[in-house]
Structure 1
Amino acid sequence: MPRLSVIIPVRRARGSLRACLESVLSQSFTDIEVIGVDDAAPDGSGLLLDEFAGRDDRVQAIHLPDGAGPEGCRNAGAERAVGDYLLHLEAHYVLLPDALSAVADRLAEAGEPDLLLYGHHKRPFRGRPRPSRSLELLGGLDDGPLTGPERAGLLDIAPVSWNRAVRRSLHEGEKLGFGPGPHGERMYALQTLAAAESVAVLPVACVEHRQQRGIPGPDEEEPGSAPAGLVEAYTGLMEFLRERPRLEPVRPLLFERAVQELLSGYPAVRRGRRRYVRAVAAFHRAHRPEGFRFPAGARGLRPRLIGGGKYAALGGLDTALAVRRGLRAAPDAVRGQARRSLSKRYYWWQRKRPLDPNLAVYAAYWNRGVSCNPEAVFRKARELAPGVRGVWVVSKNQVDTVPEGIDHVVPGTRRYWSVMARATYFFNNVNFPDHVVKRPGQVHVMTHHGTPLKIMGLDQQDYPAAAQGLNFDRLLKRIDRWDWSVSANPHSTEVWARAYPGAARSLETGYPRDDVLATATGDDVRAAREALGLRPGQRALLYAPTHRDYEAGFTSRLDLERFCAEAGPDTVLMVRAHYFYGDTGLPEHPSVLDVSDHPRIEELCLAADALITDYSSVMFDFAHLDRPIVVHAPDWETYRTVRGVVFDLLSGRPGDTPGPVATSTEELARIFRDGAWDGPESRELLAAFRARFCPYGDGRAAERVVRRVLLGEEV
């Protein structure tokens, strides 16, 4: 039997679960079991549980039916546990290094107490970790073990499940468990305090509470402020105590805590305040311990009023709170007025008109033209959903690039405001501008435009060079407009969930723009090569380095002329500089073909016999062709330190590295001279890379997006 059982309930944690599990499994203390429980999480979190269970026999993955809820997951994990002590951990949080070792040592030192409370750090959604109030309180308590009324100070420790180790024999013997609703975890925490005969404390931070956007953590200043179900929850707790006469000494402590929380919940009640006051008064009558006295003077006035059911006497408080709410709403009104004043008057008027259910807006790369994932979806929609008209948003200076027959509007024109106001569907591979107001009923689809190797979104906050010019508050507002987030593979799904936290549902379909690569024929390849002037038998290499946020202009890390000289006259190097750069300054050389302005990267990929890149996401698209990929990475350490990456591209591990790696022009030339670029080892690495990043390469990604979003079909 393991010493410690770590139970992790999982739901909508795709972006954070990996870090959570790794923080547990990498602990110096290894006498553990890890029980992950998910309830059919729609984001595929259960797949990550299975992945870890498959490679570490300490991990169990339990899959419950949809609707089990967090309490069902926690209870199921506790039922499966066989360790001496139960530790719960939220899937969004992590254990700090050596935390389990500190817990195990303290348990032994304290003589195997029924309960051990330990500290945690709080990490705001945007910010640095800092010590919690609970950690400060633990530092001021006696080591214990504490018994009976000595536990009064422990009631101020955050009443959550993940800051305590509960002896399994206590959990099972007292039939402890998590109840439903928002207060179930709080009541479990209080049950453990009440039922434990001995309680020890560990004033050390063992958990980092990583607050998630839109998911509030425990409010340690005013626990229990949300009123819904609070009376019922405390009624259940008092019944728990009544059924166990030996717990009578702690009953006054918990009743006093209930009085405080029920009173603090009163201002948050918006409807049914009279009913709430009556329920609180009934609770007082049924469970007030003999000899209980309210505080004297003004401090006890409000508890006496609500405990006595004096609703009318609390009317003054209602009035004061209404005034306060009005004052708090004033800034929102000011902001709303500012937004309306910035919006075009015509746009405002158009938003009063009904939505057009058969109108879709498409845009790509900040209105640079018709391309990428949105174009693939647009063309498939014409085939499968011809009743939905598509209109592209294209910048004025890019209008000439729009293919004939494609309807488009220019930003700022009257028709633009009308289309943006009345369209039902919006597809973009970047965010629409901040001035776009999302109306109820409109559906925004973020298609993205690459599989992430580099740090993206909110993760860029820790990398100043990558975050230049980014306003993260505005980014969060744009993320809130998304209804769907298209993903190329499970890796992307996990990263997008962490980097772009919001309510958008993941659409793991593969990238629509890669359909043309997955289904390309020999005729397609010949046409692409002929359009570029490539001769039959001529080796064409596509060199596509990525953008570096910390550089203002294009700098080739590859000595192009030297490489071409060593690669031979039958090799053409097609150089594709990133579109963020202007003049590339490429040398005039018969074997160098500047394709930086070519409108379609897909056609360049079709024409190439192999890809040379550093850290560009084009490698993930090119892999669909099952053609060699060679990494030229002379500045890897600088790039991953300054820009940040999510996995080690140069590790050489199957699935991480797509092919041979060079760090200099000489090494790269040698790889193409000696055949290593397309040798057995290269093929083996490429196969593993494709398996990880191209699982949906069947040419039907765009179809899946159209069927799910426009036709409402399950895919």
Structure 2
Amino acid sequence: MPRFSLIVPCFKVQGFLRECLDSVLDQCFTDFELIAVDDRSPDGCGAILDEYAARDPRVRVLHLPENVGLGRARNAGLPLATGDYLFFLDSDDTLTPGALRAMADRLAEAEDPDVLVFDYARTYWWGGTRRNALADILTEAGSGTFTAARYPRILDLLMVVWNKVYRREFVARGGFTFPPGYYEDTPWTFPVLLSAGRIAALDRICLNYRQRRQGNILSTTSRKHFDIHDQYERVFAFVAERPELAVWRPYLHRKMGEHCLDILAKPDRLPPGDRAEFFRKTAAMFRAHKPEGATVDGEAALLEGTWPAYLLRRQTERAGQEAARRAVLARRAAAGRARGGWAALHARRPLDENLVVYSASSHRGMLGDPAAVYRAAREIAPQLRGVWVVRDAEAAAGLPEGVEHVVVGSRRYLEVTARAKFFVNDVNWPGALVKRPGSVHLHTHQGTPLKYLGADLLDKPGARLGFDVPQMLRRADRWDWSLVANRHSELVYERAYPCHFTSVRTGSPRNDVLVNGGPSDFRERYGIPGGDTVVLYAPTRRDYRRSGHVDRFDVAEFAADLGAGHTLVVRLHPSLATGPARGMGLAELARRGIVVDATDEPHLEDVLLAADVLVSDYSSVMVDYANLDRPIVLHADDWPAFRASRGAYVDITAEPPGHVAHSYRELAWLFASGAWRDEESARLRTAFRDRFCEFEDGGAAERVVRSLLLGETPPDPATARVPGQSAAGRDTLTSA
């Protein structure tokens, strides 16, 4: 008996069917059967299904003699299913890699619940990907099992059949089947979830829900939307036959009203002449199923009125929205004029020679090089007033106590940026910020440039998608000083940013703590055993994929292959932190303790200090980590594609900081054999450090403060230094 029976109805999807089938048959978990139902499709679906069945015994094909629709096609596949769990997969959607393995593991952990609900991502015809906006519902569900009564938020998820798997015995005992119609998922999903004794959640994207350019039947203008009434009648009938579910009648009553009103609110769903009929039928149904003593409020209360009253309410709302929109625009224009006047007023005042404005990572908080300079300035030059620019109240809340800040765009922001003598940032300031004569801009950059930047991206259209190079260069024209940690960076920045700045060989302030061996409580906070070898995996984003994320290998497999005594820590690129990347398995693996997810750690140096070895690909984090003089391994299985799409200043596979693995097999061997820390690894790392950590001596932040903020004669960064050696006693600063 297989673990899963996947039932895949097919109708007019020949352009997507192979991708769907391949996503199932290529899963690493193989204990399943695939039951494909040809719903008398007039295109080539039937032939494609027969082709797959002929070469893979896991595929069974059922050709229906007539077209019966999606729901009844699923029903036709049910008698053929022999698996423990049923999975109804739409034939234009796809499974993500490792999805069935993740489901199987979660089912085992939850001891075979009736229903397992998992996450999905919408994939768009133009290449975009967006995770389910309600993914937090699955996160909050936790690791146990529950009922809908105990965790009713589970019902807030999209009412579809394909984001769940169902225990076959539970389905058979409940007699659940799909009715005919176009909203057939509604009378399946509500009864199933309300009846399930044990539900489990899987916080992982297991399915890509294809959003076709032409939409689906539920997004077209048609009378077929009247089907929603029949489907809710089936839900109410199901509940009426089961007294133990009577408590759900108020919820379903409101849900039905809101669902139908949502259809009515979309102007392209119903033919104009049918809208009044749809409202009246919904209102009649709403009155008929109103529980005794129930109160109706919110949007659903519209159904207790008449169609003319509904129209008047909508017209009033639209008029109010338009008036509110105009009022907002007027307020914004007035505020803009006021802010402009406020900024102009302060721009006429003298510069404050002791005012330093800081920002990092697009105003995300006190981070990176600017944070290191700020801390050094407070110690060395307390007369300097440092003010941080943050993007919102949330970022402000993350600042240490006592740190002065302003929110970007506010009046205080305009005041301090009009008066400040010094500006310190690792990305460009907003274009609206006007540089006053006499002000000084220090640009610290973010990492060592290994891949193309700035003007060099003009020949890489894929890498600069949505990136305005001329605008970026106009902003970079405000730089006075460009901080560099090696001659390579100096040459690259002067080529990539043809602007009027001077390079200063200061070293990277953010790396002082690495050179000097600063403390880190990362291991303690994540409960990592003291004797474990911490392996940090920090991949970069890919410009040849619109989402930026590509799973290069299975991190769960890597964690298992590392074995006991090792902890695998994963840190995704910051630009992927809020996208689908973590939902592809990382969040679930972290919950289960298989890996540690350090993507949200604000201070990268804490993570680097805790790691015994770094595994990366083409991320500049390897340069920062090299300051620790600890082993580095590169996983470069897609180097030609990466280099072609983004461009690279260095062939990192020819001049690596350690051993290079061109496949996962090679990566696993390097750790199994111990070669990751052999003499050759140390030799490569030494050559790499000599080139890219040239000016790193642990005194960069002090050097920046004394030389660029105070105008003193600073100590000189040594071109050869010993990790942990004090920065004191150096010679003079060199600038180019």
What TM-score do you get using the length of structure 2 for normalisation?
0.49
Deviation for aligned residue 1:698: 1.6
Q: 2:565 corresponds to which residue?
A: 570
Q: 2:672 corresponds to which residue?
A: 673
Separation (CA, whole Å) in 2 of partners of 1:550 and 1:665: 20
Aligned counterpart in structure 1 of residue 550 of structure 2, from 543, 550, 555:
555
Q: 1:351 corresponds to which residue?
A: 347
* Contact 1:512-1:700 within 8 A present in 2 as well: yes
Separation (CA, whole Å) in 1 of partners of 2:470 and 2:446: 22
Root-mean-square deviation (CA, aligned residues, Å) is: 1.5
* Contact 1:569-1:591 within 8 A present in 2 as well: no
1:642 maps onto 2:641 in alignment? no
1:537 maps onto 2:536 in alignment? no
Q: 2:377 corresponds to which residue?
A: 381
Deviation for aligned residue 1:380: 0.4
Q: 2:510 corresponds to which residue?
A: 513
Letter in 2 for 1:487: V
Deviation for aligned residue 1:598: 0.7
User: What secondary structure does 2:575 align onto?
Assistant: coil
Letter in 2 for 1:442: S
* Contact 2:339-2:414 within 8 A present in 1 as well: no
Letter in 1 for 2:365: G
Cα 1:517/1:547, change in 2 over 3 Å = same
Separation (CA, whole Å) in 1 of partners of 2:685 and 2:410: 48
1:690 maps onto 2:689 in alignment? yes
Give the stretch that moved more between structures: 586-595 or 420-429. 586-595
Counterpart mapping for 1:301-320 below 5 A: none
Counterpart mapping for 1:173-192 below 5 A: none
Q: 2:662 corresponds to which residue?
A: 663
Separation (CA, whole Å) in 2 of partners of 1:421 and 1:485: 22
Deviation for aligned residue 1:561: 1.3
Deviation for aligned residue 1:341: 7.2
Unaligned stretches of 5+ in structure 2? 1-335, 714-732
Letter in 1 for 2:410: T
Letter in 2 for 1:505: T
Deviation for aligned residue 1:708: 1.1
Separation (CA, whole Å) in 2 of partners of 1:608 and 1:359: 37
Deviation for aligned residue 1:697: 2.5
**Which ranges of 4 or more aligned residues in structure 1 deviate by more than 3 Å?**
340-343
Cα 1:374/1:634, change in 2 over 3 Å = same
% of aligned pairs identical? 49
Aligned counterpart in structure 1 of residue 399 of structure 2, from 399, 402, 418:
402
Letter in 1 for 2:528: L
Separation (CA, whole Å) in 2 of partners of 1:590 and 1:416: 43
Aligned counterpart in structure 1 of residue 417 of structure 2, from 412, 416, 420:
420
Q: 1:367 corresponds to which residue?
A: 363
Per-residue Cα deviation, 1:40-67 (whole angstroms, up to 9, x for no partner): xxxxxxxxxxxxxxxxxxxxxxxxxxxx
Deviation for aligned residue 1:345: 2.3
Separation (CA, whole Å) in 2 of partners of 1:606 and 1:695: 20
1:493 maps onto 2:477 in alignment? no
Counterpart mapping for 1:31-42 below 5 A: none
Equivalences, count: 369
* Contact 2:480-2:502 within 8 A present in 1 as well: yes
Separation (CA, whole Å) in 2 of partners of 1:471 and 1:554: 22
Separation (CA, whole Å) in 1 of partners of 2:593 and 2:526: 14
Letter in 2 for 1:440: P
User: What secondary structure does 2:503 align onto?
Assistant: strand
* Contact 2:544-2:641 within 8 A present in 1 as well: no
Letter in 2 for 1:417: L
Letter in 2 for 1:350: H
Separation (CA, whole Å) in 1 of partners of 2:470 and 2:665: 46
Separation (CA, whole Å) in 1 of partners of 2:634 and 2:526: 24
Separation (CA, whole Å) in 1 of partners of 2:337 and 2:535: 53
* Contact 2:339-2:411 within 8 A present in 1 as well: no
Separation (CA, whole Å) in 2 of partners of 1:568 and 1:435: 53
Letter in 2 for 1:549: D
Deviation for aligned residue 1:343: 6.9
Letter in 1 for 2:571: R
Separation (CA, whole Å) in 2 of partners of 1:400 and 1:670: 45
Give the stretch that moved more between structures: 343-352 or 618-627. 343-352
Separation (CA, whole Å) in 1 of partners of 2:474 and 2:593: 49
User: What secondary structure does 2:421 align onto?
Assistant: strand
Separation (CA, whole Å) in 1 of partners of 2:548 and 2:498: 32
Unaligned stretches of 5+ in structure 1? 1-339
Per-residue Cα deviation, 1:662-703 (whole angstroms, up to 9, x for no partner): 122221111011011100100000010011111222210111
Deviation for aligned residue 1:342: 11
Cα 1:497/1:553, change in 2 over 3 Å = closer
Letter in 1 for 2:529: R
User: What secondary structure does 2:500 align onto?
Assistant: coil
User: What secondary structure does 1:344 align onto?
Assistant: helix
* Contact 1:571-1:591 within 8 A present in 2 as well: no
Per-residue Cα deviation, 1:367-414 (whole angstroms, up to 9, x for no partner): 011000000000001111111100000111312211111111101211
Cα 1:414/1:342, change in 2 over 3 Å = closer
* Contact 2:615-2:635 within 8 A present in 1 as well: yes
Letter in 2 for 1:395: R
What TM-score do you get using the length of structure 1 for normalisation?
0.51
Separation (CA, whole Å) in 1 of partners of 2:683 and 2:695: 19
Separation (CA, whole Å) in 2 of partners of 1:600 and 1:663: 30
Per-residue Cα deviation, 1:410-435 (whole angstroms, up to 9, x for no partner): 01211111011001000000000000
Separation (CA, whole Å) in 2 of partners of 1:351 and 1:494: 35
1:591 maps onto 2:582 in alignment? no
User: What secondary structure does 2:527 align onto?
Assistant: coil
Q: 2:441 corresponds to which residue?
A: 444
1:481 maps onto 2:478 in alignment? yes
Cα 1:400/1:550, change in 2 over 3 Å = farther
Letter in 2 for 1:627: R
Separation (CA, whole Å) in 2 of partners of 1:341 and 1:395: 21
Separation (CA, whole Å) in 2 of partners of 1:678 and 1:689: 15
Separation (CA, whole Å) in 1 of partners of 2:463 and 2:524: 39
User: What secondary structure does 2:423 align onto?
Assistant: strand
User: What secondary structure does 2:648 align onto?
Assistant: coil
Letter in 2 for 1:709: L
User: What secondary structure does 1:420 align onto?
Assistant: helix
Q: 2:634 corresponds to which residue?
A: 631
Cα 1:404/1:466, change in 2 over 3 Å = same
Letter in 1 for 2:649: V
* Contact 1:385-1:710 within 8 A present in 2 as well: no
* Contact 2:364-2:391 within 8 A present in 1 as well: yes
